[in-house]
Chain A
């Protein structure tokens, strides 16, 4: 209750010392229910270092998970630790966290610079320090040119980057991004993805959520899949898929001469079926996606096939979820 008189940013528990050995994020048997509906049920998870993608359809519980981590919600059961400290009613750990909320609404009347530097001061920086830091992160996210324009005039991608700058201004060790790519055009997506990868390379723990697998795939291979409030899978994206080998994968290739290509492709051991859905396409069925992907390019090049697209139509989140929930699952 007592205000923070020295205003240095450690909030209420001034003597807060982060546990060095504790992981950045530790959830133990966490459930969150609204009445009889479980938004999250029994999640146990520890994360430290690297970029992790949190995947799930709408309503899978991604935002609930993040809001729990940010102390916005109180877990119904279980315990949450951020650097070894429970974030509910204790904002102290946020000195080391950056959070990009999913909400679209921003302070349209502020300039990008004003937005970032004002909120930097909430970390306990003085005006001058905040100004230096704000300019640094704005440059990092590539908004220096428009830093003094109103956020209301920003494009969607610029707004997202401004939000990321706001989160990065305290040089956090843990960065949580809730749907940072939502509604961005492809160029903005690429920029933001590069940013996130860059953060991962800098050794930060990054948590990024999306409902689009391809986006996450371009950022990281380490994923957490949530479905209907449950933790469905955790680990490397491709190793998850390899565990699903019992179920056939399809690769769709659009080629000028599908018949010839089919002849060559059927020679690969792992291919057990080829079909022609129409005159232009060839569909390969396999149990081992990795093997095909390693051999396919060589075959195409060696035999001089003209291929316009190679596509894994089953590679999206919905089909993985379909496999995981209906097929053998975990």
Chain B
């Protein structure tokens, strides 16, 4: 047999590719495969459709500082009266009574008239930023101290302060001079925030969690067990092939159908969110990095879970009964990672590591994500530090919920590599355990 020297292709065109090919063809003949893949596709497509619908609709513009209202019913909005120095609360005082009467401005001029102009990075320490676009701080007839309510010596600016407390987490505080960036554009902000939150949530919960757990649960649990209970395993084991190899190649066959599926769905998601997403660009190329990470993390998750559930199936006839509580545990861990990405418990899960990859990629691709969240939570208004009711903009809440730091205090790039290595290690260990269990298994 081994007379000719083998090329790599010829070497693997033997046992490995035979079992992988066999497994793929076996999946193809099962109805349940198509049902599972079809249902997964439909569910995600449904969410994509809702996303497209939301992105296509207008986000309601809110006048955050209330200067578009004509309080005294003289036909002039508050903002115009303030700018021109008349009393916005007195109907007998308005620019129409000037020597050269001035026409009232359209109300829309005073909605979203002062958006965010933050050009800083999110880092520890306080930084000053912000420009008063509409001039209701700089050009108003306030005193200097009124223009500098945050007392840092710079009139009409915003202080963004990131600081670390003893619990190791980073908190932020925003102090703004009155009238600066006080009326941001809701549509621009919310569209962007909801877009990013969508990519993160669908990536973390839809792909990594749902696809990552349910595909292996449906497809990998029976990889060896079904064959063992139907008796067809005898055909394979009568050949000179080690059982741990059968275990590995069967799992590779399963990945051969799951990975392309995940990649196709991921590309679909990237296309949908790239074209329908916010921004002026025709296609959001930068997001591709996050989508790549989502696809990669899902692939790693399906690998580890596949090995695990396959091993559970080998271990026990009722392996699924062990797999179901485990899946519930992982669901809990996924929710925990949203709230407390540094929790120690997460290190004992699979999903914690997989989500770390997505978080790290989001941090690399959107470096100012934190700042963006802080911005939205502050939400304009420009009333200085006394601002105590919820002025946050739509979208900042979900974005804050679905995004988190990679954990372990690592930089994004390191976190990604560490998480990948850990998951590969988990897969290898599970292969080893599964193979060892299979090897010592008596088969009737």
**Contact residues of A with B, CB < 8 Å?**
1, 3-12, 67, 70-74, 89, 91-95, 97-99, 101, 103-107, 109-110, 114, 118-119, 121-127, 129-130, 163, 166-167, 170
Contact with A along B406-444 (1 / 0, CB 8 A): 000000000000000000000000001001100110111
Residue of B235, B240, B244, B436 near A123 (CB, 8 A) is: B240
Question: Which residues from chain B contact A110 at a C-beta distance below 8 Å?
Answer: 25
13 residue pairs from A and B, CB less than 8 Å apart: A1-B432, A6-B6, A73-B442, A73-B444, A105-B230, A107-B26, A109-B25, A110-B25, A121-B15, A122-B241, A124-B15, A130-B18, A167-B238
Cβ B14 vs Cβ A109 within 8 A: no
- Interface majority SS on A: helix, strand, loop or mixed? loop
The reply to whether B232 and A72 contact each other, CB–CB distance below 8 Å, is no
A189 to B376, CA, bound (A): 81
CB contact between A122 and one of B19, B234, B439, B444 (< 8 Å): that residue: B19
B245 on the A face (CB < 8 A): yes
Nearest A residue to B239, CB-CB: A122
Number of A-B contacts (CB under 8 A): 132
Q: Which of A3, A89, A105, A170 contacts B440 (CB 8 A)?
A: A89
What is the bound-complex CA distance between A98 and B234, given in angstroms? 11
Residues of chain B with a CB closer than 8 A to A166's CB = 235
Query: In the bound complex, how far is the Cα of B242 from the Cα of A228, in angstroms?
Result: 32
Pair B238/A99 contact, Cβ less than 8 Å: yes
Closest partner residue, chain B, to A176 (CB atom): B238
Whether the Cβ atoms of B242 and A9 lie closer than 8 Å is no
- Taking CB atoms, residues of chain A closer than 8 Å to B236 are 119, 122
Given A8-B1, A72-B442, A91-B243, A101 and B238 contact (CB-CB distance below 8 Å): yes
Grouping DSSP codes into helix (H, G, I), strand (E, B) and loop, the B interface class, with mixed when no group exceeds half, is helix
Instruction: With A6-B11, A121-B13, A124-B240 given, name 20 new contacts (CB 8 A).
Output: A3-B242, A4-B242, A4-B245, A8-B1, A8-B14, A9-B1, A67-B443, A89-B440, A91-B237, A91-B243, A98-B238, A103-B232, A119-B235, A121-B17, A122-B18, A123-B239, A124-B14, A129-B1, A130-B18, A170-B239
Residues of B within 8 A of A121 (CB): 13-15, 17-18
Which residue of chain A has its CB nearest to the CB of B232? A105
Instruction: Name B238's contact: one of A5, A7, A97 (CB within 8 Å).
Output: A97
A11 touches B2 (CB 8 A): no
Which residues does B use to contact A, with CB under 8 Å?
1-2, 6, 10-19, 21-22, 25-26, 29, 230-232, 234-245, 248, 432, 435-436, 439-440, 442-444
**Chain B residue with the shortest CB-CB distance to A13:** B242
> Please, which residues of chain B bring their CB within 8 A of the CB of A97?
238
Residues of B within 8 A of A114 (CB): 25
- Quote the shortest CB–CB distance from B22 to chain A (angstroms): 5
Chain B residues, Cβ within 8 Å of A5: 11
B239 and A91 contacting across the interface, CB-CB below 8 Å:
yes
